[in-house]
A and B are shown apart, each in its own frame.
Chain A
């Protein structure tokens, strides 16, 4: 009996050791060979069009430098996995996401490495530094409060009004430049029996982006964030805010939105827009890439900037940047920087632009016709962070107060007074509880 007990205990101990042995190997699969491997956790999933191009770049990079890129296509939640690994040190050497998330999750928690040195690095095979290529236009979105670069922007997503040039040819002659012109355009389209506006209102991110853009037009970049951070909530009760809110009350009352926009599941209305059943869609630069699979045969992607309140007013473009960051606990940051200097060369950037319809920060690359309008819009205007950075700075407020209110506004459930009062009351309460 004793022997069988001992045998049982030994078996249990062996199993435990086996389990410990299994868990001791790095979960990222890295061999721990140091500078010969670069671990990259990507925001992409393996089925996305960028993946074959990036995979080819990894192979070219390895042939050039001998460094193997060990990539994991983690998807959009990649930073949550990076943050979870920050406490244990199980982090990649390189990761990517949009500027809101990189700032809100990595930079604000001191988990992003300062990339100032990377900006000074020369692009592979070119006589120009990465910093010179990118320029300082995006600095407000890529630098943290300490003035250090927490990310290197790669592609950009300007939020604009999209339309099919073949479906609304009158717009190609000249888009509205102020709100009066916009209202007139929508009224004309409606009078023709068309659905002027497409909006998947169940996607609260889209509701909020549209309303936030109008508010920033009315109060100026940076002022929406200031208003949101006002603990009294009184900053909402100004003529400029009211004018912006009134725009959406009016659009809902006039019935400018496509039928069923408040009771469909994304991307139902976006699909209708792509099939010429609605005319204008306010969305990011990914629209051509995302909708081309189901777009009408005559689709010619055209875009115009959200008009100024009045002629000559502010026309800064709301932009989200996708880009790279290196966690502070990265084991091989040098290889990550070396890879980025390789990736930012003209050839890989051109391939990505052309084959995935992505607008990159390299404005010296020729873009496909579908992206030409947004290239021009970005190059000809100042930029600011979409939603005035509210989701990055006060994410919980954005989710629980701002987004629900904007959804109620665009779906016609609130008057201007009700929206202003709701924001004042809920914001005051939010800061009382969370200030």
Chain B
């Protein structure tokens, strides 16, 4: 029972007698004080490390500032420039591609695997194996991804054994596609695990009844799995949206070499912010401009998350 609930229960119980109510007041006040004492550090911390910097970034986005010399007022000029900056627009498109294409693949593959391995023996092992990339360091995985697919890498060596000419997986034209594929590989395990957790809660009798009724595998998925795991899937979709916005380490390590930034072809919104501030050998230190891009992306993804919540909202189904 929470502090608030105990407070409410206490008040109701004491309601008939004025004396009892008077006696209860000091206890309520004391409980309130404890409540404030426990909650205050979290609120202060949240305000300091999240709300404060966000408000600060919004303020900085209206200035031209390199972090050292006094900031110069720019008003909305940073935002105007962003909408005409081809590098930002490309980063924005890349972010949306990662969100939509990556998301579609992750959820299709996730549902497929989840439905497929639901009844398999050794499914815990498969689940762990698929989850593994998510717990490994994205930096290490990006190196593995490069080693696998570079020209004289493992994949081309295996293809060579089959008599297939080596493919240029990591050429400038393909690098973004490979980065998105790698991102899917790294992230899919988490969403598969979340979806599996939701599907595990579905009582087997629903599947048994559906089978008796002659439902095909797709129909069982369409009429049993999907509706009964919808809540979990919608939470996973929102988590993926946030992850797609924040994606940084895998792209940075996969596309970059030593201390250089990855090519602009694979920049997403996070890499754009980094590229405009601390990235590359001689950092640009354009904090105002970078903040404006971060604020825009925050707004855009805020809208996307709200829309997603509305689109995915369903009446809860009692199992």
Q: Which residues of A contact B (CB under 8 A)?
A: 1, 5, 8-9, 12, 76-77, 80, 83-84, 86-87, 98, 100-101, 104-105, 109-111, 200-205, 259-260, 262-266, 268, 391-392, 395-396, 398-400, 403-404, 407-408, 411, 413, 426, 429, 433-434
A408 CB contact (under 8 Å) in B66, B87, B150, B172: B172
| B264: A residues at CB distance < 8 A | 399-400, 404
Q: Determine whether the beta carbon of B151 is less than 8 Å from that of A264.
A: yes
- Which of A83, A205, A264 makes the CB contact (< 8 A) with B281? A205
**Which residue on B lies nearest to A425, using beta carbons?**
B86
Q: Smallest distance from the beta carbon of A97 to chain B beta carbons, Å?
A: 9
Q: B150 and A263: CB pair below 8 A?
A: yes
CB within 8 Å of A: which residues of B?
30, 33-34, 37, 41, 66-69, 81, 84-87, 146-147, 150-152, 166, 168-175, 255, 257-261, 263-265, 275-276, 278-286
The complex places the Cα of A266 from the Cα of B264 at a distance, in Å, of 17
Please indicate the chain A residues that have their CB under 8 angstroms from the CB of B147 in the complex: 265
Alpha-carbon distance between A265 and B256 when the two chains are bound, in angstroms: 9
Q: B residues within 8 A CB of A200? A: 257
Grouping DSSP codes into helix (H, G, I), strand (E, B) and loop, the A interface class, with mixed when no group exceeds half, is helix
Query: Judging by beta carbons under 8 Å apart, are A100 and B151 in contact?
Result: no
Asked if A202 contacts B86 (CB within 8 A), the reply is no
Q: Which residue of B lies closest to A411 (CB)?
A: B172
Top 4 A-B pairs, shortest CB-CB distance: A260-B151, A263-B168, A104-B282, A395-B282
State the Cβ distance, B30 to closest chain A Cβ, in Å: 5
Residues on B with C-beta less than 8 A from A87 are 67-68
Cβ contacts under 8 Å, A12 to chain B: 37, 41
Residue of A nearest to B84 (CB): A433
What chain A residues lie within 8 Å of B258 (beta carbons)?
76, 203, 205, 266
* A204, A259, A263, A429 interface centre (most CB from chain B within 10 Å): A263
- Asked whether A83 lies within 8 Å of B67 as measured between CB atoms, the reply is yes
Do A8 and B37 touch across chains, with their CB atoms under 8 A apart? Answer: yes
The CA of A429 and the CA of B88, in the complex, are separated in Å by 13
Chain A residue with the shortest CB-CB distance to B254: A265
Contacts of A260 in B (CB 8 A): 150-152, 166, 168
CB-CB under 8 A for A399 and B86, given A202-B170, A260-B151, A265-B147 = no
Cβ–Cβ contact B168 & A262, under 8 A:
yes
Q: Considering the complex, give the chain B residue whose CB is closest to the CB of A80.
A: B278
The minimal Cβ–Cβ distance linking B83 to chain A, given in whole angstroms, is 10
Check A259–B151 contact: CB distance below 8 A. Answer: yes
Q: A5-B33, A205-B281, A407-B172 are in contact. Are A77 and B259 (CB under 8 A)?
A: yes
Residues of A close to B172: CB separation below 8 A: 201, 262, 407-408, 411, 413
Q: Provide the residues of chain A in CB contact with B173, threshold 8 Å.
A: 413
